[in-house]
Amino acid sequence: MILELKDLSKVYKKKTALERLNLHIEKGDCIVLCGGNGAGKSTMIKMLTGVESPTTGSVAFHSKQQKPFAYMPDQMIFPSELTPYEILDYYRQFLNKNKESVKWVLEKTGLWSERNQKAGGFSKGMSQRLNLAQCMLADTDIYILDEPTDGLDPYWVIQLKKIIKELKEENKTIIVSSHIMRDAIEIADKLIILFNGKIKFFGTLNQVYKEYRCISLEEVFLSIHKNEQQTG
């Protein structure tokens, strides 16, 4: 086990954004958080990364590394006057990484040829790849990616999935938030399905299909939505 959540919940004033949850996440797994807008995905990630404190419960990382996780937020604003190389060279000094690591992540994210261009002129997709590069620079046990395909063109969506598979081969743990069902099916070892702040399911694709007697994730979500309406 690499990550443990105990009685984790979040309440904003009188609104419950995430009900109490208990989870064990194993090392080397790719976990995909699925759910629509307002399901609780971003709230859960904010508590995992320490951006926000939980109302109840705790998050425990079982890692020997001083920095157990790297984080790719859904949107990251970089200094417009700096180049990708300058930005990552600045970050790598805090992470005690060498300059070769900057070159490696820029090549991995297809930005080496643009390393000396100012980030202010980047498209959304290029900025998202720079966001991925800063996350990969940490080279840590756990990678937490919040809607990482947002803004990426089809080619880079495919490349991102390849990168995730390579990280898994290195026994890294990846937690991905996504509302795109196709992405979840292709990369997930296990799914966390959130609906209105509640975990409706945690397990493999085969397990969720069996439990809801469905043959696709789309059908599963429709079934959950229908059940919630009937019981709500």
Domain boundaries, the chain: 3-68+142-231, 78-139
At 165-175, the pLDDT tens digits run 999 999 999 99
Q: Which residues pair with 195 in a beta bridge?
A: 198
**What pLDDT is stored for residue 226 in this prediction?**
84
Q: What pLDDT score does 224 carry?
A: 87
What φ, ψ does residue 102 adopt, rounded to 5°?
Answer: -65, -45
Domain 3-68+142-231 fold: Rossmann fold (3.40.50)
pLDDT tens for residues 91-102?
A: 999 999 999 999
User: What mean pLDDT value characterizes the chain?
Assistant: 93
pLDDT in tens, 40-54: 898 999 999 999 999
The answer to whether residue 33 scores a pLDDT higher than 90 is yes
Backbone torsions φ then ψ of 78, nearest 5 degrees: -100, 155
Residues 6 or more apart whose CB falls under 8 angstroms from that of 180 comprise 149
Q: How far is the C-alpha of 83 from the C-alpha of 38, rounded, in Å?
A: 35
Task: Tell me how far apart the alpha carbons of residues 124 and 140 are, in angstroms, rounded to a whole number.
Answer: 26
Question: Taking a C-beta distance cutoff of 8 angstroms, is the pair 131, 109 a contact?
Answer: no
Q: Sorting pLDDT into bands at 50, 70 and 90, what band is 232?
A: low
Instruction: Reply yes or no on whether the pLDDT at 20 is more than 80.
Output: yes
Task: Output the CA torsion 104→25→41→143 (10° steps).
Answer: -10
